[in-house]
Chains A and B, each alone.
Chain A
Amino acid sequence: DTAVSQTPKYLVTQMGNDKSIKCEQNLGHDTMYWYKQDSKKFLKIMFSYNNKELIINETVPNRFSPKSPDKAHLNLHINSLELGDSAVYFCASSSDRIEQYFGPGTRLTVT
């Protein structure tokens, strides 16, 4: 059974398009996160939700909008995609806001 899952695994799209990435966890955790890992492999927090409420919102362009319909799901919608948005996006979850477990990642390529 997959603990933290993401769809799609790969996403190739053109500049200016809007796309969404979905994340689901079946661990019963109450906190979920979105991270971005750039081409230099640096992993950086973008957003965090606790029980459907936004608790962390790092300096991210407002083209990125997270949505949590329930505590098991956290989606990421990106408007007007730019070349610099190309990266791997990881979803993670935790039960104690400390130990975080990552999903398999979504590789986004903007052409």
Chain B
Amino acid sequence: QKEVEQNSGPLSVPEGAIASLNCTYSDRGSQSFFWYRQYSGKSPELIMSIYSNGDKEDGRFTAQLNKASQYVSLLIRDSQPSDSATYLCAVTTGYSTLTFGKGTMLLVSP
């Protein structure tokens, strides 16, 4: 069973702080890694993708990948109340197949 694990949270951070979201995966053959943001009652929105080891930055978001440790993380700098959502880690686990974690709920307090 190919799995993607995330802490369900909630992760609570004050406005302006750095939020750190973590994800581990079981399939060593996975090549592509994604973070989706899902607001309550809405659809998942792709916010970051990463394909090679290291860091990838996009605005306030930084994705980090360590394939040897089978670990992906998402850092959100200068967190805003509007960042409060569930963050889903997704990993390719086969031909065109994305396996999602159960998501981490992030709460940013003003």
Q: Would you call A56 and B95 a contact (CB within 8 A)?
A: yes
From A40, A50, A97, A101, contact of B102 by CB (8 A): A40
Of the candidate stretches A41-49, A60-68, A77-85, the one touching chain B is A41-49
From residue 66 to 110 of chain B, which have CB atoms closer than 8 A to chain A? Answer: 86, 88, 92, 95-100, 102-103
Kindly list chain A residues whose C-beta atoms are within 8 Å of the C-beta of B92.
98
From A43, A56, A101, A102, contact of B96 by CB (8 A): A56
The reply on A100 being an interface residue by CB < 8 A is yes
From B43, B97, B102, contact of A102 by CB (8 A): B43
Interface of B is mostly: strand
Q: Would you call B43 and A44 a contact (CB within 8 A)?
A: no
Q: Would you call B42 and A100 a contact (CB within 8 A)?
A: no
From A43, A45, A99, contact of B46 by CB (8 A): A99
The reply on B62 being an interface residue by CB < 8 A is no
Interface of A is mostly: strand
Instruction: Say whether, besides A98-B92, A99-B49, A56 and B97 are in contact (CB < 8 Å).
Output: yes
Q: What number of B residues sit within 8 Å (CB to CB) of A?
A: 21
Q: Would you call A90 and B98 a contact (CB within 8 A)?
A: no
A-B contacts counted at CB < 8 A amount to 47
Q: Would you call B86 and A101 a contact (CB within 8 A)?
A: no
Q: How far is the CA of A50 from the CA of B96 in the complex (A)?
A: 10
Q: Would you call B43 and A90 a contact (CB within 8 A)?
A: yes
Chain B residue at minimal CB-CB distance from A91? B43
Measured between C-beta atoms, what is the minimum distance from A68 to chain B in Å? 14
Q: How far is the CA of A102 from the CA of B37 in the complex (A)?
A: 11
10 contacts between A and B (CB under 8 A): A31-B96, A41-B38, A42-B102, A43-B44, A48-B97, A55-B96, A56-B96, A90-B44, A97-B95, A101-B46
Chain B contacts to A: CB under 8 angstroms = 32, 34, 36, 38, 42-46, 49, 86, 88, 92, 95-100, 102-103
